Amino acid sequence: MIPHGYNFGGIEVTNETCEQMLIDSICPNGHEILANVDHCSNKVTDENQRLIDDLAILMKQTSANLDTSFIKLISYAGAKGYIHFRGDFIYKKRLLSDMTEYFGVEYLKSFGLDPAYLMSEKEMVHFLQKNNLKDNLILYLLIMRFFAYNVKDWFYKDENYSIPIPFGNGPWLCVNTICPQYNNRIISTIYRKAHEWVTGRFSCPYCGMIYTRRGIPKTEDETQYSIDTMGSLFIEQAVLFYENGLTFDEIANKLLSNRTTIRKYLMPHRGRKRSKAYPREVDPSTVLELGYHQAAATELPKIEECRSSLGKP
The CA distance from 182 to 184, in Å, is 5
Strand 190-194: give its sheet, edge to edge: 190-194, 198-203, 210-214, 226-229
Mean pLDDT: which of 127-141, 179-193, 264-278 is highest? 179-193
Cross-strand pairs, 173: 185
Please, how many CA atoms are within 13 Å of residue 258, restricted to the half-sphere of its CB? 2
Summarize pLDDT for 155-198 with one digit per residue, the tens.
777 777 777 788 888 899 999 999 999 999 999 989 888 777 88
Indicate whether this model's pTM tops 0.75: no
Per-domain boundaries in the chain: 7-156, 164-229
